[in-house]
Amino acid sequence: MKLIEVGPSMGVNDLVGVFNRLSPRKVALTCHHNADPDSFGSAYAIREFLNKLYEDLNVFIVVPEGLSSVSKRLFSILGDVNILENVEVDEIDLFIMVDSISFIQLGSIGTVVKDSNIPLIVIDHHEPIEETVHRATYILSDTGASSTAEIVTDMYREFNLDISKKSSLALLTALIYDSKRFSFASYKTFEAASFLLRHGGDYSLALSILSEPMDISEKIARLKGAQRLKFFRINKWLISFSNVSSFEASVARALIELGSDLSIVIGGDDEIRVSARSTEAFYKETNFHLGRDLMIPLGAFIGGSGGGHSLAAGANGYKNRDMIQDFCMNLILSKIS
């Protein structure tokens, strides 16, 4: 884990030092739009972390465009925090972007955060992108972490700070969710889970929160995605493309399950959303990182931003929809052919 001051690497104690120097009174923890359990659960636990250190600090959780259906179930169990969908700049001394690496991910408040001169801290596990590094005061980043929740758990551990059962549940739920039930995990992921379980995180309850039967809309999107599938072979790799109006990430996962080595799904109406997934074997043999090598350049190409992990990434933008497939194929061919 490292804290980047657009320069020197720092640790969690230095993050606290940032607060001591900035002396904020009102802090907005901004989740990404349609906040998933990693974004919301991490923000919930960061709020507790800050309030334990600074009793007079007012900390708000902002969820532009609301919570995802899974996060709503988590929220109903936690139940002791107010969340906002918008924020007034003149009411805030510090922004903290949680599980978000680009301003477009912040939905309706993205421009507000980007264009203001209010100090900005980013706590995230995705590959940092240039516009965010340029704007941020500090970035606490660990691209090797399974989730932002893993980073936040390490904040508690490294600072030796007590954590409540509710924050333990929030982080455990987030950790299980973003690691795909420990499919993408390192020994640090299991150490974080062990810490949360020892401090009251309820594993069975976390699983029940995450157990959501697929609704008919998502099923239809997956079937349409398969119906509209186009695929290409590069050496031994199968690259698939499809388009749907919603559930792009779910469709991308489904295409991997069908046999693709790399799947790219384009969706959205006015706003373009692109989601990509790849197999671990594809990444290990080609070193083609979906966030770094595909979605960051694609985000710029479609007039927005993109990023993500080695096996899962996405981009949002507003232009060049009809050219996305060719653009992606050229990037892929330049790296692996």
Task: Dig out the tokens for 320 from the structure.
Answer: 């060049």
Q: Under a CB-based contact definition with an 8 Å cutoff, are residues 41 and 73 in contact?
A: no
pLDDT of residue 325: 97
pLDDT of 282 over the 90 cut: yes
pLDDT of 211 over the 70 cut: yes
Q: Under a CB-based contact definition with an 8 Å cutoff, are residues 227 and 256 in contact?
A: no
pLDDT of residue 308: 84
Strand (E) or helix (H) holding 274: strand 272-278
pLDDT of 243 over the 80 cut: yes
CATH number at residue 259: 3.10.310.40
pLDDT of 6 over the 50 cut: no
In a shared domain, residues 205 and 321: no
Q: Which of 187, 210, 233 is the last residue of a domain?
A: 210
pLDDT of 212 over the 90 cut: no
Q: Determine what percent of the chain is predicted with pLDDT higher than 90.
A: 71
pLDDT of 86 over the 90 cut: no
pLDDT of 9 over the 80 cut: no
Q: At what angle do helices 165-178 and 37-53 cross, to 10 degrees?
A: 150
In this prediction, residues 45-50 reach a mean pLDDT of 97
pLDDT-wise least confident of 26-30, 246-250, 309-313: 309-313
pLDDT of residue 203: 97
Counting the structural domains of the chain, the total is: 2
pLDDT of residue 11: 60
Average pLDDT, the chain: 91
In a shared domain, residues 200 and 129: yes
In a shared domain, residues 60 and 204: yes
315 φ, ψ (degrees, to nearest 5):
-145, 150
Q: Which of 210, 230, 254 is the last residue of a domain?
A: 210
In this prediction, residues 148-175 reach a mean pLDDT of 95
pLDDT of residue 98: 97
In this prediction, residues 30-44 reach a mean pLDDT of 95
Q: Residue 170's pLDDT band (boundaries 50, 70, 90)?
A: very high
Count of residues making up the chain: 337
Compute the distance between CA of residue 136 and CA of residue 138 in angstroms, rounded to an integer. 5
pLDDT of residue 91: 83
pLDDT of residue 326: 97
Compute the distance between CA of residue 38 and CA of residue 120 in angstroms, rounded to an integer. 20
Report the C-alpha dihedral over residues 165, 171, 176, 178, rounded to 10 degrees.
170
In this prediction, residues 184-204 reach a mean pLDDT of 95
β pairing state of 58-62 and 83-84: parallel
CATH number at residue 15: 3.90.1640.10
* DSSP H helices in the chain: 12-22, 37-53, 69-78, 110-115, 130-135, 148-159, 165-178, 187-198, 203-210, 216-227, 248-258, 280-286, 296-301, 324-336
62 φ, ψ (degrees, to nearest 5):
-110, 125
In a shared domain, residues 52 and 85: yes
pLDDT of residue 4: 52
Report the C-alpha dihedral over residues 33, 46, 250, 231, rounded to 10 degrees.
90
In a shared domain, residues 222 and 189: no
pLDDT of residue 150: 96
In a shared domain, residues 184 and 239: no
Sheet holding 305-308, edge to edge: 230-234, 237-243, 262-267, 272-278, 312-317, 305-308
Q: Which of 179, 210, 241 is the last residue of a domain?
A: 210
**Alpha carbon 136 to chain centroid, angstroms:** 17
pTM: 0.82
Q: Under a CB-based contact definition with an 8 Å cutoff, are residues 231 and 241 in contact?
A: yes
- Residue 290 belongs to what domain range? 218-336
Q: Under a CB-based contact definition with an 8 Å cutoff, are residues 275 and 290 in contact?
A: no
Rg, Å, the chain Cα set: 19
In a shared domain, residues 281 and 206: no
In a shared domain, residues 135 and 227: no
In a shared domain, residues 264 and 290: yes
